């Protein structure tokens, strides 16, 4: 059985990419990655991937109408010479239908739709972007799904601290965790664990 390490390394590489400022869009104080840049990365790293809309029902809730798109992303790893490994994943997202501003009665009727075609397109784009980020790690720096693995500098610092506590069970466990590439120690708890070990060293 061939090793999957090249696959995990590829996802880590993509996850660590920094989106250029010119491809970051802001709406309602939230940052998004421009569609054409996400498409560029998809075509670069997963050239044979495909996005298919499976379902696009209309959903009514509290007098608001949403397009709920469900789609399927399929891809392989031909970029790293492992095209025999194929995967697929489902994703769903909702987009509110936009109505024209009716000052008289604010009617939400079919003849008062602002741009139904754009609503459907936006719902599909939102779902497609979520799939690229969730499954392929594209845009992790913006969508806050960055790989939780420690950097080499963080691993080096932590190991140096742990070696100063040769009899401490926590320090021993952390070293074993890092040697096995376990995520028990990750970017989410790194600072907390580091400070705890430093405090133990200070207490002697």
- At 62-110, the pLDDT tens digits run 666 777 889 999 999 999 999 999 999 999 987 776 554 444 444 444 4
Which one, of 99, 44, 95, lies nearest residue 71 by Cα? Answer: 95
Highest average pLDDT, of 36-40, 176-180, 195-199, comes from: 36-40
Which one, of 68, 48, 43, lies nearest residue 57 by Cα? Answer: 68
Q: Report the pLDDT value the prediction gives residue 163, as an integer from 0 to 100.
A: 94
Q: Report the pLDDT value the prediction gives residue 1, as an integer from 0 to 100.
A: 43
Residues 153 and 190 sit within 8 Å (Cβ to Cβ)? no
Residue 24 has pLDDT above 50, yes or no: yes
Residues 42 and 132 sit within 8 Å (Cβ to Cβ)? yes
130: tokens are 């979520």
Rounded mean pLDDT of the chain? 83
Place of tokens 């010119």: 22
Between 111 and 141, the more confident residue is 141
Which one, of 138, 151, 154, lies nearest residue 11 by Cα? Answer: 138
Residues 36 and 12 sit within 8 Å (Cβ to Cβ)? no
Residues 91 and 134 sit within 8 Å (Cβ to Cβ)? yes
Q: Report the pLDDT value the prediction gives residue 150, as an integer from 0 to 100.
A: 81
Q: Report the pLDDT value the prediction gives residue 46, as an integer from 0 to 100.
A: 97
Query: What pTM does this model have?
Result: 0.68
Residue 143 has pLDDT above 50, yes or no: yes
- At 144-175, the pLDDT tens digits run 766 677 888 889 999 999 999 999 999 999 99
Domains of the chain: 5-143 (3.30.390), 152-203 (no CATH)
36: tokens are 């054409």
Least confident window among 3-12, 59-68, 127-136: 59-68
């Amino acid at each position: 059985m061939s090793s999957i390490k090249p696959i995990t390394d590829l996802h880590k590489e993509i996850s660590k990419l920094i989106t250029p400022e010119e491809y970051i869009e802001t709406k309602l104080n939230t940052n998004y990655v421009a569609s054409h840049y996400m498409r560029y990365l998809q075509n670069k790293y997963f050239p044979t991937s495909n996005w298919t809309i499976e379902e696009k029902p209309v959903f009514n809730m509290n007098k608001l109408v949403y397009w709920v798109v469900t789609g399927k992303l399929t891809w392989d790893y031909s970029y790293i010479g492992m095209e025999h490994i194929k995967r697929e994943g489902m994703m769903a997202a909702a987009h509110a239908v936009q109505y024209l501003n009716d000052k008289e009665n604010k009617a939400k009727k079919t003849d008062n739709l602002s741009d139904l075609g754009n609503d459907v397109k936006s719902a599909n784009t939102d779902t497609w972007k979520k799939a690229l980020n969730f499954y392929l790690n594209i845009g992790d720096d913006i969508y806050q799904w960055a790989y939780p693995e420690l950097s080499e500098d963080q691993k080096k610092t932590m190991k140096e601290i742990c070696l100063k506590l040769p009899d401490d069970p926590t320090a021993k466990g952390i070293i074993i965790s890092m040697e096995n590439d376990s995520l028990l120690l990750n970017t989410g708890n790194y600072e907390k664990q580091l400070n705890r070990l430093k405090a133990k060293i200070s207490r002697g």
